[in-house]
């Protein structure tokens, strides 16, 4: 007889207010944050190895998290506010100082019982949320969800090839993205002259210099979209070094386009992405910083996003693998069943 599936029981949500006084008023969203591409919710899970399972230790850990959130909400006070829309189509942050919602939960199993959540998270029950407005008219795909590990040795091998052939350095992002883009083009079997596209967002905070407010700070997104488009045959036949070079050129062009847009030169929306099977969007979470968060009982052993419901555009998320593993873990939702085996086989050849 099979063991019963693990269950999770949640406590009622409770507000954690800032630990001290915070400014009031409203803060407008930046022109970046007003775009639909970044006005989305991203859920993620941090997995910690508990030093002890006794109830007093668990209570202390929960208290440490509450206190940490409360203290952090003082300098990051906009997070303790609420989104308001005093003018239709112009959302703002209302700095109410109310705080953030905190929910405790207990599972009927240990982390070891579920392989440290490496496979998939537990189903935590949530009440259904009513849709906001009419449903969007997007084509939904039936993506195969899988994970693949890219080793540091494989990444270094391509970096060395790039250095030998171009006398240029490249990043881990460049290498991993080139691998995925090439393997996917080979797997999906588009017509030779059909366009395949790669999309990504890059941080641009370093380009703003003194433009950011000080000492008040800036709490919004500071990213800009980049990417490239090529004929499917060209991507399939190109070497990894050639694709890495194209990605690096796209990143270099992104900086110039962002500064042009910032100065009012670019009027078109560069956040528009063709939501079809020929597009691949990659997101690098390996350097976001959530792996370094310490609430008082050590850093997480694993951090991963919950993006299972993203089925309107092929996507890949880059994560740090669970400790002590090294390399890059790919969370793949970018091919449908007919192409999954070829895609995974091609990736494993390079990984």
Q: Which of 44-58, 174-188, 233-247 has the lowest mean pLDDT?
A: 44-58
- The 10s digit of each residue's pLDDT in 197-256 is 999 988 888 887 777 766 566 767 788 888 999 999 999 999 999 999 999 999 999 888
Question: How much is the average pLDDT of 318-326?
Answer: 92
Q: Tell me, letter by letter, the H, E, C secondary structure of the chain.
A: CCCCCCCEEECCCEEECCCCCCCCCEEECCCCCCCCCCCCCCEEEEECCCCCCCHHHHHHHHHHHHHHHHHHCCCCHHHHCEEEEEECCEEEEECCCCCEEECCEEECCCCHHHHHHCCCCCCCCCCCCCCCCCCCCCCCCCECCEEEEECHHHHHHHHHHHHHHHCCCCCHHHHHHHHHHHHHHHHHCCCCCCEEEEEEEEECHHHCHHHCCCCCCCCCCCEEEEEEEEEHHHHHHCCHHHHHHHHHHHHHHHHHHHHHHHCCCCCCCCCCCCCCCCEEEEEECCCCCHHHCCCCCCCCCEEEEECCCCCCCCEEEEECCCCCCCCEEEEEECCEHHHHHHHHHHHHHHC
138 has a pLDDT exceeding 70:
no
Least confident range from 27-41, 142-156, 198-212, 283-297: namely: 27-41
Cα distance between residue 202 and residue 117, in whole Å: 29
Label residue 176 by pLDDT band (50, 70, 90).
Answer: very high
Instruction: Name the band, by pLDDT with cuts 50, 70 and 90, for residue 272.
Output: low
Q: How confident is the model at residue 193 (pLDDT cuts 50, 70, 90)?
A: very high
Mean pLDDT, the chain, rounded, equals 86
Domains and CATH numbers, the chain: 8-117 (3.30.559.10), 146-350 (3.30.559.10)
Q: Is the pLDDT of residue 260 over 90?
A: no
Q: Is the pLDDT of residue 134 over 80?
A: no
Average pLDDT over residues 48-73: 82
The pLDDT value given to residue 130: 44
What's residue 114's pLDDT? 84
Confidence of residue 120 (pLDDT cuts 50, 70, 90): low
The answer, as to whether pTM is greater than 0.95, is: no
pLDDT at 234: 98
Reported as a pLDDT band with limits 50, 70 and 90, residue 135 is very low
């Amino acid at each position: 007889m099979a063991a019963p599936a693990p269950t999770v029981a949640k406590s009622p949500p409770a507000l954690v207010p800032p630990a001290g006084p915070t400014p009031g008023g409203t803060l407008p969203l930046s022109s970046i944050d007003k775009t639909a591409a970044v006005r989305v919710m991203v859920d993620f899970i941090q997995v910690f190895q508990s030093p002890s399972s006794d109830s007093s230790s668990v209570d202390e850990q929960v208290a440490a998290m509450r206190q940490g959130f409360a203290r952090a909400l003082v300098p990051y006070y906009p997070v303790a506010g609420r989104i308001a829309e005093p003018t239709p189509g112009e959302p703002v942050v209302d700095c109410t100082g109310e705080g953030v919602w905190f929910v405790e939960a207990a599972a009927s199993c240990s982390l070891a019982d579920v392989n440290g959540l490496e496979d998939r998270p537990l189903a935590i029950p949530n009440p259904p949320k009513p849709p906001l407005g009419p449903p969007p008219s997007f084509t939904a795909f039936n993506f195969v969800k899988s994970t693949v590990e890219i080793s540091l040795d494989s990444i270094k091998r391509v970096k060395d090839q790039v250095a030998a052939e171009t006398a240029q350095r490249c990043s881990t992002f460049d290498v991993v993205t080139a691998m995925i883009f090439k393997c996917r083009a080979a797997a999906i079997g588009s017509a030779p002259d059909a366009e395949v596209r790669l999309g990504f967002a890059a941080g641009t905070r370093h380009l703003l210099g003194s433009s950011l407010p000080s000492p008040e700070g800036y709490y919004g997104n500071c990213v800009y979209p980049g990417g490239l488009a090529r004929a499917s045959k060209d991507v399939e036949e190109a070497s990894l070094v050639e694709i890495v070079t194209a990605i690096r050129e796209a990143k270099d062009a992104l900086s110039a386009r962002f500064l042009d847009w910032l100065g009012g030169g670019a009027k078109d929306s560069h956040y528009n992405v063709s939501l079809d099977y020929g597009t691949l969007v990659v997101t690098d979470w390996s350097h976001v910083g959530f792996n370094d968060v310490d609430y008082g009982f050590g850093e997480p052993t694993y951090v991963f996003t919950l993006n299972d419901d993203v089925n309107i555009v092929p996507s890949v998320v880059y994560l740090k693998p669970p400790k002590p593993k090294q390399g890059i873990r790919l969370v793949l939702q970018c091919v449908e069943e007919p192409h999954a085996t070829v895609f995974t086989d091609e990736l494993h050849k390079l990984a």
